[in-house]
Chains A and B, each alone.
Chain A
Amino acid sequence: MQPIKKIAATIILSCTAFLTQAQDTSKPSPAHSVLDADTMLVVCIGLLAIVIISLANTLLFTMKYYKSKKQQPLNNNLKAMMLVACILVGFSAMAETPNLVSNTVVNETGTSAFRMILYIIVGLEMIVIFLFTRLIKFFMRGEYAHEAVPARKPLIHIDYKKIWSKLNRFKPLEEEASIDTGHSYDGIHELNNVTPPWFKVAFILSIFFAFGYMYRYQIAKTGPSQEEEYKTEMAEAQVQHEAYLKSQKSNVDENTVVMLDAAGIAAGAELFKSNCIACHGNKGQGGVGPNLTDEYWLHNGGIKDVFKSIKYGWKEKGMQAWQSNFSPEEIAQLASFVKSLKGSKPVGAKDPQGELYVETKDSAAAKTPVDSASKK
């Protein structure tokens, strides 16, 4: 037994270290996170509360236990429980801090009804888990039941036992014989206690709820169908997006995009590194996707063309549309970076594909004022 426990403890401890590491690397970039902040907060607080409650419980009991048995080593079970509680708390702190700290913008798409339900669920789940920890506490007490625990005097005297007993309409144990059914199956007797009143009420309520639910969604159809919910969600997103566009001064698209400066190109390089090299190679030399460094292009090579290719993709050729992933500005940065690769001649460049692209005056119009001047 002992070695098993020690091994388990070692594994857990080493994992804590590992996990803290892992969390560091997997932190999402907090650049512009939009999370449903208050929901998030409730969930985090809820989960943290659970962990803290269980930790506090465990600590409390450990202390009592330790006091009572000063000379003896800590009970192994308690040790293990404490270990886990510590891990969970430390771990949770690690896991959640970045999200709470990062500057979150409240996303209003979640409807209030939705949120209400979420709160209720989290609340109820917490209650259940809390009851579970009470149960564990009960068992732990059993492990040193013979140590007398001095009774605490509560400020207000509430007889929970009595309330509980009333709630269930318990028959006192002494009167059990009166409700014995007389059955005996292999020595198992059956009482005939009344079904707890709260059970009956709750059952009837749940049936009402079910009928109400069916009526609302399938007969009266006052509740939205999933298609309607989807339409509403998309419409809200549209409104939000338009508001966003209005608030942005430079809203580029494929008609207005221009080659960016060095800073823009550098930003594009970063995006390229994390999103494009799987197909286009780390230097744009090509791989699964075409070579981006030569003068041949499958879909033309002007800044506007490249912008368009990134934004809408070329699905049949395997280039996905990136407009759901990148903002217009980011696409402009990427396009500028791609354009800047021309003539870099990286090692292992893929053979040219498509047609030779010559920069026309129009496509490069905004690139250099000199060009447009010389045309005149």
Chain B
Amino acid sequence: MELQKFTYDNRMPRNFAIATVVWGAVGMLVGVIAAFQLAFPALNFGLSFTTFGRVRPLHTNAVIFAFVGNGIFTAVYYSLPRLLKTPMWSNRLSKIHFWGWQLIIVAAAITLLMGYTSGKEYAELEWPIDIAITLIWVVFGINMFGTILTRRERHLYVAIWFFIGSWVTVALLHIVNSFEYPVSLFKSYSWYAGVQDALVQWWYGHNAVAFFLTTPYLGLMYYFLPKAAERPIYSYRLSIVHFWSLIFLYIWAGPHHLLYTALPGWAQSLGTAFSIMLLLPSWGGMINGLFTLRGAWDKVRENPVLKFFVVAVTCYGMATFEGPMLSLKNVNAISHYSDWTIAHVHVGALGWNGFLTFGMLYWLVPKLFNTKLYSTKLAAKHFWIGTLGIILYAIPMYWAAFRSYFMMKAFTPSGQLQYQFIDVVQTVVPFYILRAIGGTIYLTGVFVMVYNLVKTAKQGSFVAFEHAEAPALEKQYKAPSGSFWHAVIERKPIMLLTLSLIVVAIGGMVEMIPTFLVKSNVPSIASAKPYTPLELQGRDIYIREGCYNCHSQMIRPFRYEVARYGEYSKAGEFVYDHPFQWGSKRTGPDLAREGGKYPDSWHFNHMLEPVSMSPGSIMPNYPWLYDNKLDVGSTNSKIHAMRKMGVPYPDGYESIANTELLAQANAIADNLKKDKIDVKSDKEIIALIAYLQRLGKDIKTDTTNYTK
């Protein structure tokens, strides 16, 4: 067999590695800032683009799509050619992929801070960027499959299965969840409404964790861990079992983010059931990773790369154990809306994604620069600083969650809520400070790593191209007799792709199609009316300022929630909510029944300076809402878009929409005047007040409790 010569291009993995480090540091820094903002509201600075509601989405998007995203690409662009004995298929596509992705990140950072958001968690980016993501993702896919199809290795290694499965599923998730109706260049409405939007969003949200943060990183682990440990993978058959079961089961688990909400009970139960089954397939990855280190544990003590890997895999095991526990409904009743979720996520993000990335970089950078790591000692120190950071981050959050839960549900013997919401807030603030310190420590570790890696690069010289040789694949292949059936799939990448797609499509379809088509899943409420034009505009301000980051709009059927917030939420109330705004965390109180709870003037004062109405509040001030004029020019297109999506505004309503808007605004301004507040009716705050006063009023709520 004639050997063919080819070269591996190391420039791409190097570029992606640099991007990983840079965006990682930026994203985590933003996270630390957001964490301190929760403890010290003054750090919001009273400016729209530095306020928590916009900063927090920037943090989540940056660490997920910029840090981990570039981490995935680093791993793929380094490992894929080597596992397939061929260079990446197209150098041009590689470049488009790299620069396109970085451009998207920059665009995301700018638009998010400017308040352009779709209001759906982890999918906040507006439609032009969504399209750009799709295009770049396709470019990545073509490049990856081009490489796979021109390979010189007959069978695909398990890491590549994970890359393929992740690629196709992320494409599916992104496209389905991003169905939106553009209103203007940077404004769109989710195609789905209320319960359906919630289901699609958390199908996406949960599986963004699954197929962006988990499966590609399992691929990364399967390449870099055996490489660094110089040990064979523990079990090939375990790889097969856990790959297929993981991707099949993962996709179903989304509804566990919506337990005790207005989502139909059967979908909730499916979410729980599949989450439980998900535990062992997840642990399959952990077992295969840790057992691969059998016989290499003496190396683990000395080698910081392996240390990082071991803790990363252990954190993965912890997080994937905790996940199924949290989806048991009794546990979820405690954890949902609380800091427990935040702790859970960060054990995964800081431990699994962070440490795996760090380990990879400590292994890869010396390889790329043909040298040794500048300081192993410093890397070991980073390991300790990072571990400390994780512990100091997680424990206060767990603590805060339990404390706030017991305070929230405490009743006095005479049947009254024992604590006001503000009491709970003030109790958890010290924990927020501790958490922010934990995050800072972790970030310090990252800077230590940056120093170490830069020094490493400087002392070596970059190897742009590595030469290699291998024979081409023969056209005719006959499998040796007795070879395992799965090997067939391993040498047919398109079949693998198709099977992965089928396997992941099943769960989503079973859950979504009935929720969309069967009427009884969302019992309609006759009194539910579309928003008035002013309320609609106010709602868009609510979305723009990211209020959903701290306020839920979904009261669960628990005594303590009904007593605190009002009658529990019904599915039919949300049919005109494009997008839904149920939220996932209650840093502030639920707002589902905020309408009419306080006078207009209360809201006016409160939004300007929350502590004036609610002493001890950690909510930021929103002074710009009092200067900005409401953009009434957009009313018509918004009404139009809503009608297109099935909101029953009468035909021709556009022509009178702004007249009605003005009338309602004037009424609110007049009402404020009665309370000695002089404000022009064309300010944004008026629209926001209109929206807040509308919340939860569609059904007659009997908020008086059982004592009456």
B430 and A22: CB pair below 8 A? yes
A213 and B269: CB pair below 8 A? yes
Q: Determine if A246 is an interface residue (Cβ-Cβ < 8 Å).
A: no
Q: What mask results when residues 413 to 434 of chain B are scored 1 for a CB within 8 Å of chain A, else 0? A: 1111111100100110110011
B378: which of A1, A114, A138, A142 is its contact (CB, 8 Å)?
Answer: A1
Chain A: minimal CB distance from B93 (Å): 22
Q: Determine if B236 is an interface residue (Cβ-Cβ < 8 Å).
A: yes
A195: which of B241, B274, B381, B416 is its contact (CB, 8 Å)?
Answer: B241
Q: Determine if B234 is an interface residue (Cβ-Cβ < 8 Å).
A: yes
B291 and A193: CB pair below 8 A? yes
Q: Determine if B89 is an interface residue (Cβ-Cβ < 8 Å).
A: no
A318 and B260: CB pair below 8 A? no
B599 and A321: CB pair below 8 A? no
Beyond A47-B398, A325-B417, is A28–B568 a contact (Cβ under 8 Å)?
no
Q: What mask results when residues 313 to 332 of chain A are scored 1 for a CB within 8 Å of chain B, else 0? A: 00111101101111111000
A226: which of B234, B265, B295 is its contact (CB, 8 Å)?
Answer: B265
Name the interface size band of chain B: 35 or more
Q: What mask results when residues 250 to 283 of chain B are scored 1 for a CB within 8 Å of chain A, else 0? A: 0000000000100001101110111011011101
A318 and B597: CB pair below 8 A? yes
- Main DSSP-derived SS at the B contact region: helix
B269 and A217: CB pair below 8 A? yes
Q: Determine if B519 is an interface residue (Cβ-Cβ < 8 Å).
A: no
Beyond A213-B272, A316-B596, is A195–B83 a contact (Cβ under 8 Å)?
no
Name the interface size band of chain A: 35 or more
Beyond A28-B407, A186-B82, A210-B276, is A323–B596 a contact (Cβ under 8 Å)?
no
Q: Determine if A340 is an interface residue (Cβ-Cβ < 8 Å).
A: no
Q: Determine if B498 is an interface residue (Cβ-Cβ < 8 Å).
A: no
Q: Determine if A18 is an interface residue (Cβ-Cβ < 8 Å).
A: yes
Chain B: minimal CB distance from A250 (Å): 12
For residue B413, which residues in chain A have a CB less than 8 angstroms away from its CB? 32, 34, 105, 244
A92 and B301: CB pair below 8 A? no
B420, closest chain A residue (CB): A325
B294 and A173: CB pair below 8 A? yes
Beyond A8-B441, A117-B330, A210-B277, is A28–B419 a contact (Cβ under 8 Å)?
yes
A327 and B414: CB pair below 8 A? yes
B318 and A317: CB pair below 8 A? no
A233 and B331: CB pair below 8 A? no
A289 and B599: CB pair below 8 A? yes
A312 and B414: CB pair below 8 A? no
A118 and B232: CB pair below 8 A? no
Chain A: minimal CB distance from B257 (Å): 15
B568: which of A230, A275, A278, A323 is its contact (CB, 8 Å)?
Answer: A230
For residue B239, which residues in chain A have a CB less than 8 angstroms away from its CB? 190
For residue B266, which residues in chain A have a CB less than 8 angstroms away from its CB? 218
Report the Cα distance A155→B602, complex, angstroms: 70
Q: Determine if B515 is an interface residue (Cβ-Cβ < 8 Å).
A: no
Chain A: minimal CB distance from B362 (Å): 16
A240 and B415: CB pair below 8 A? yes
B559 and A109: CB pair below 8 A? yes
For residue B430, which residues in chain A have a CB less than 8 angstroms away from its CB? 18-19, 22-23, 26, 95
Beyond A18-B433, A188-B157, is A278–B265 a contact (Cβ under 8 Å)?
no
Q: Determine if A43 is an interface residue (Cβ-Cβ < 8 Å).
A: yes
Listed residue (B265, B413, B444) with the most chain A CB atoms within 10 angstroms of its CB: B413
For residue A107, which residues in chain B have a CB less than 8 angstroms away from its CB? 410-411
Chain B: minimal CB distance from A114 (Å): 5
Report the Cα distance A233→B409, complex, angstroms: 12
Report the Cα distance A218→B264, complex, angstroms: 11
Chain A: minimal CB distance from B400 (Å): 10
Report the Cα distance A72→B272, complex, angstroms: 54
Within 8 A of B (CB), among A92-106: 92, 95, 99, 105
Q: Determine if B237 is an interface residue (Cβ-Cβ < 8 Å).
A: yes
| Listed stretches B123-131, B455-463, B700-708; interface member | B700-708
Chain A: minimal CB distance from B557 (Å): 4
Can you spell out 27 A-B residue pairs with CB atoms less than 8 angstroms apart? A19-B433, A26-B430, A28-B419, A32-B412, A34-B413, A47-B398, A76-B381, A77-B384, A109-B559, A128-B317, A131-B314, A142-B301, A180-B232, A183-B236, A186-B79, A186-B227, A188-B226, A191-B232, A195-B238, A214-B273, A226-B557, A237-B411, A244-B414, A279-B613, A318-B597, A327-B412, A327-B415
Residues of A within 8 A of B (CB): 1, 4, 8, 11-12, 15, 18-19, 22-23, 25-26, 28, 32-36, 39-40, 43, 47, 51, 76-77, 80-81, 84, 88, 91-92, 95, 99, 105, 107, 109, 113-114, 117-118, 121, 124-125, 128-129, 131-132, 135-136, 138-139, 141-142, 145, 168, 170, 173, 176, 180-181, 183, 185-196, 199, 202-203, 206-207, 209-211, 213-214, 217-218, 225-227, 229-230, 233-234, 237-238, 240-241, 244, 248, 275, 278-279, 287-289, 312, 315-318, 320-321, 323-329, 350
Closest 8 CB pairs of A and B: A318-B599, A142-B301, A189-B232, A230-B557, A210-B273, A203-B280, A185-B157, A327-B414
Residues of B within 8 A of A (CB): 79, 82-83, 85, 153, 155, 157-159, 223, 226-227, 232-239, 241, 245, 260, 265-266, 268-270, 272-274, 276-277, 279-281, 283-284, 287, 291, 294-295, 300-302, 307, 310-311, 314, 317-318, 321-322, 325, 328-331, 334, 378, 381, 383-385, 387-388, 391-392, 395, 398-399, 402-403, 406-407, 409-420, 423, 426-427, 429-430, 433-434, 437, 440-441, 444, 448, 556-559, 562-564, 568, 596-602, 605, 612-615, 675-676, 703-708
Other CB < 8 Å A-B pairs besides A33-B410, A95-B403, A279-B599, 4 of them? A136-B387, A210-B276, A214-B269, A244-B414
